[in-house]
Amino acid sequence: MCGRWLARALAAAFAAGAVAGRAGAADVEVIKAGAVKSAIDLSGLRCSGEAGSVFQRTLENDLRLSGWFTIARGGAAVAADGTCAGGGGALRLDCQVRHASSGRVYVRRSDQGAADDARRMAHALADEIVRAVTGKRGIASTRIVTVGRRAGRKDIYMCDADGGNLRQITRDGVVCLAPSWSPTGEFIVYTAFLKGFPDVYRIDMNGFRRTRVAGYPGLNAGADVSPDGRRIVLTLSKDGNPDLYVLGLGGGQAARVTRTRFAAEASPSWSPDGRSIVFVSDNSGSPQLYVTGAGGGGYQRITLRGTENVAPDWGPDGRIAYSSRRGGKYRVCVIDQSGGGDTEIAADHADYEDPSWAPDGRHIVCSRTENYRSALVMLDTLGDSPIQLLAVEGDWYSPAWSP
């Protein structure tokens, strides 16, 4: 799947018979409009050994990717000093981060672990620096799940927020799509054709145990976990038409949310407060975004530009990211329901699809497709350039950023 509207893709599978019957306190440097960064000097943090080198590289990259820092040597507003020593299979960190001119200490941190913990330790320090200096949440310790196609086989993979530490979660080699995290990061739900037709499965991230959570006759697809972690909203066709339903993860009846006789609904995403759902419907003749209450009732169209608007993700600050077809290409756009219309975040000669918000409410991960090859890229809503993640062989789709 290349990020096209979920209902359309799965309808094609039906037709083919696949589912028959189923603000910083430090001095700042303005880099460009909207992106304000602090310079940080890490040269006083002396790292030794192979694990220490991994730690240093990871920390520098994490701080750059945060969007809040540039790396400098001397003359920086923020400075770090201390040691990170690796050897004998272990790694020991002792450091402090301070305001260079006032001497105010932002962070004092001591940590130790195995040499293999170098990346984890760097991620943790980077997030602590971001929080202490800027008051913003860091994203270095978060993860991304994605669908990967390698050697013709599709499976679920997971990586760190910087694209490193890639791990394969499933080994089924079947069509799978639309992973979604629980609000605590304890599990994901996703759609897979394990038995030749689309069902929704849950994977617990501690041990990767998998259970089926929706297997009604017909279509079960595109599940998103509610903010309280107790329910999913998904597309079901068990009553004839692809509509949205809410289903408790502990069992019980599926409650119908939408009722359209001649349209299909797909790609639902919960609002942060759990009271509303944004979704895609072709009720107007083309796929557009609508919002409805979690208990059903009326719904309102929220997209007016673009020939198609699909794959919405409701972000932590209330903005909705989605993919909009404009000028023959898919663009990642952000709409603020409180006013101000929509904003294009990514627009060039490639297709940008399946956006997913980072928990900092600033960054978005999505797939970028060019010449029939798809890669993951990180977008910055404050204007930094897109950054490609997962520079490894394969095609990568449907990313989802962890809480």
DSSP 187-224: EEEEEE-TTSS-EEEEEETTT--EEEEE--SS-EEEEE
232 and 156 co-located in one domain:
yes
> CA-to-CA distance for 159 and 164, rounded, in angstroms?
6
Q: What is the pLDDT of residue 298?
A: 86
What's the CATH number where 62 sits?
3.40.50.10070
180 and 102 co-located in one domain:
no
**Burial track 196-234 (b if 16+ CB lie within 10 A, e otherwise):** ebbbbbbbebeeeebeebbebebbbbbbbbbbeeebbbb
CA distances from 305 to 327, 336, 350 (A): 11, 14, 19
254 and 376 co-located in one domain:
yes
Residue 20 belongs to some domain of the structure: no
CA distances from 148 to 128, 176, 201, 313, 401 (A): 31, 9, 17, 20, 15
389 and 254 co-located in one domain:
yes
Asked whether the beta carbons of 323 and 311 are under 8 A apart, the reply is yes
130 and 155 co-located in one domain:
no
Q: Give every CB contact of residue 10 below 8 A, 6+ residues apart in sequence.
A: 19, 198, 219, 221
Asked whether the beta carbons of 305 and 296 are under 8 A apart, the reply is no
Q: What is the pLDDT of residue 32?
A: 43
- Show which of 117, 134, 151 is a domain's final residue: 134
- Show which of 88, 106, 134 is a domain's final residue: 134
> CA-to-CA distance for 220 and 160, rounded, in angstroms?
29
265 and 384 co-located in one domain:
yes
Residue 228 belongs to some domain of the structure: yes
SS3 content of the chain, % helix, strand, coil (to 5): 10, 50, 40
Domain count across the chain = 2
Q: How many CB atoms lie within 10 A of CB 69?
A: 27
Where are any strands of DSSP class E within 115-254?
A: 143-150, 153-160, 167-168, 176-181, 187-192, 199-204, 210-214, 220-225, 231-236, 243-248
What's the CATH number where 227 sits?
2.120.10.30
Residue 367 belongs to some domain of the structure: yes
266 and 365 co-located in one domain:
yes
The residue count of the chain comes to: 403
- Show which of 70, 105, 134 is a domain's final residue: 134
109 and 156 co-located in one domain:
no
Range of the domain at 123: 29-134
Residue 7 belongs to some domain of the structure: no
> CA-to-CA distance for 397 and 376, rounded, in angstroms?
7
Q: What is the pLDDT of residue 258?
A: 95
Residue 13 belongs to some domain of the structure: no
Residue 6 belongs to some domain of the structure: no
64 and 126 co-located in one domain:
yes
Residue 114 belongs to some domain of the structure: yes
Residue 3 belongs to some domain of the structure: no
Q: What is the pLDDT of residue 35?
A: 67
211 and 164 co-located in one domain:
yes
127 and 167 co-located in one domain:
no
Q: What is the pLDDT of residue 357?
A: 98
> Could you state, in chain order, the average pLDDT of each consecutive group of 10 residues for the chain (403 residues)?
45 39 40 72 96 98 97 94 95 97 96 96 98 97 98 97 97 97 98 96 97 97 97 96 95 91 94 97 95 91 94 97 96 85 87 98 97 96 94 95 98
61 and 183 co-located in one domain:
no
Backbone angles phi, psi at 170, to 5 degrees: -115, 160
